[in-house]
Chain A
Amino acid sequence: MDPEVHSLTGAYVCHALEPDERAAFERHLAQCPTCAAEVAELQETAALLASAAAETPPARLKAAVDARIAVTRQIPPLVDHGPLRASARPPRRRWFTAAGWGLAAGLAVVVAVLGIRVGDQQNQIDQARQHSTTISQLLSAPDAHSDSASVSTGGTGTVLVSRSRDEAAISVAGLAKLAPGKAYQLWMIGPSGTRSGGVLPATASDSVVAHGLGDARTIGLTVEPAGGSAQPTTTPVMLLPMPA
């Protein structure tokens, strides 16, 4: 462990790091349970600094919030595809579906193409509807950050991530055409393991939306048998760190 990086816990908790430092620190956090525990404790401490600054909110704030939540759909309860925990539930249901940037049409179809078991059919449709707005919401999230990486066999991958929303959209372009029976598969890589992010559709110019990023810090891309694998079986052709 690099003691220099480790000592950034305080600055991290105060949101006092530059974006690149923050991303580097989060990569370190992913591999350092001691740091993660310290960050959690310091966040509780910082919360008391916030509480100490409390002000009596004006009545108009409540009215404005009430008006907005009346028209704001909630993210469904995370029964089957919640954030990854250290106790690691099976990876199959944690996430989910694909869409082009802002592409609404055909979302339910894409879900079906990916063959991801997210629950009953109504749940799938609800999820698909929600994803059409998720990407535009992600794009406007105040803490939205994006990063790109080259794919070693050709093409590029881009991730748009918002930690406050606990969501990311991953987009690929210009990928090399694969032999029949092969497919690109995305992976979410974090300290508690690697889980599938789904097999990309054959025409992989769309985006995949990830909910419940959990502790995932890196997006990986591998070539797998067409149906996808439970865990990566080949060397990643792309490793894309997710910005903070």
Chain B
Amino acid sequence: MLGRASSKADTGEEATLESCLHRVALGDREAFDEVYGQLAGPILGVARRVLRDPAQAEEVAQEVLVEIWRTASRFDAARGSARAWALTMAHARAVDRVRSADAATRREARAAELMVEPPFDQVVEAVEARLDRQRVRHCLEGLTELQRQSVTLAYYGGYTYSQVAHLLDTPLGTVKTRLRDGLARLRDCLGVGG
């Protein structure tokens, strides 16, 4: 399983999360409370980053958390961590929503805003996220400017890579490559899968 080898001092957390998810699959509401406690913050946070609108972000978070309850038995630890399973789902849902019909105009309006504000200044501090935030911030700072902008716009902004290329006035192929090598460098910096 791909773990978070050198991640937080909580390597026990992932094991707990996965065993909790297993119990959730068996209908254990207390285990779900534990999963909720660990994942609701990141799920809401990523939805909020992508969607901006707090009400829509809460709707997406609600859908994803219910989906975790519903499909807990489909989680396959051989394919990755429980955290990645849940947060991949959350990000996908948020992006789906941002790409829905009314999104185009809103994205235009957001573009300038995203470009001028440092991404982390927009985030409400949450105690449990501080460590992740510090590490991610540190590692993002280690990227090239183009890598950082590409990853930030695509992941947090919910833009397609061709939109990112347009926003950054950079060739498509370059953005494609920067997304890949930017994430790979983050992976190495964060000690994922090590």
Q: Would B58 and A41 count as touching, CB distance under 8 A?
A: no
Contact, CB under 8 Å: B187 / A41: yes
Partner of B81, one of A44, A49, A68, A164: A44
B 39-62 binary contact with A (CB < 8 Å = 1; else 0): 011111110110000000010011
Most buried by B among A15, A38, A49, A83: A49
Interface residues of B (CB under 8 A from A): 2-4, 7, 25-27, 29, 32, 36, 40-46, 48-49, 58, 61-63, 65-67, 69-74, 76, 78-81, 83-84, 87-93, 95-97, 120, 123-124, 126-129, 132-133, 135-137, 151, 154-156, 158-162, 164, 175-184, 186-187, 190, 192-193
Given A41-B187, A42-B184: A143 touches B44 (CB 8 Å cut-off): no
Contacts of A43 in B (CB 8 A): 80, 84, 88
Q: Is the CB of A62 within 8 A of B190?
A: no
Interface residues, chain A, with chain B CB atoms under 8 Å away: 7-11, 13-18, 38, 40-58, 60-62, 64-65, 68-69, 72-78, 82-83, 85-86, 142-143, 163-166, 212
Chain B contact residues: over half helix, strand or loop, or mixed?
Answer: helix
Q: Measured between C-beta atoms, what is the minimum distance from A220 to chain B in Å? A: 23
Closest Cβ neighbor of A142 among chain B residues: B96
Going nearest first, the 7 A-B pairs with the smallest beta carbon separation are A10-B179, A10-B180, A54-B129, A53-B45, A52-B136, A54-B41, A50-B46
Point out which of A8, A44, A69, A78 has the most chain B C-beta atoms below 10 A from its C-beta.
A44
User: Is A52 in contact with B177, judged by CB distance below 8 angstroms?
Assistant: no
List the A side residues contacting B133 at CB < 8 Å.
52-54
CB distance from B84 to the nearest CB of A (A): 4
In the complex where A40-B2, A61-B44, A74-B25 touch, is A164 in contact with B92 (Cβ < 8 A)? Answer: yes
Q: Which residue of B lies closest to A74 (CB)?
A: B70
| Distance in angstroms between the alpha carbons of A166 and B120 in the assembled complex | 33
Please name all residues of chain A whose beta carbon is closer than 8 Å to the beta carbon of B135 when the two chains form the complex.
Answer: 48, 52
* Interface pair B180/A57, CB less than 8 Å apart: no
Q: Are A54 and B42 in contact (CB under 8 A)?
A: yes
Provide the bound-state CA to CA distance between A65 and B66, in Å.
6
Considering the complex, give the chain B residue whose CB is closest to the CB of A42: B183
Q: For A142, give its contact among B27, B70, B88, B97 (CB under 8 Å).
A: B97
List residues of chain A with CB within 8 A of the CB of B48: 53, 55
B2: chain A residues within 8 A (beta carbon): 40-41, 44
Inter-chain CA distance A14–B175, complex, in Å, is 12
State in angstroms the CA–CA spacing of A187 and B72 once bound together. 26
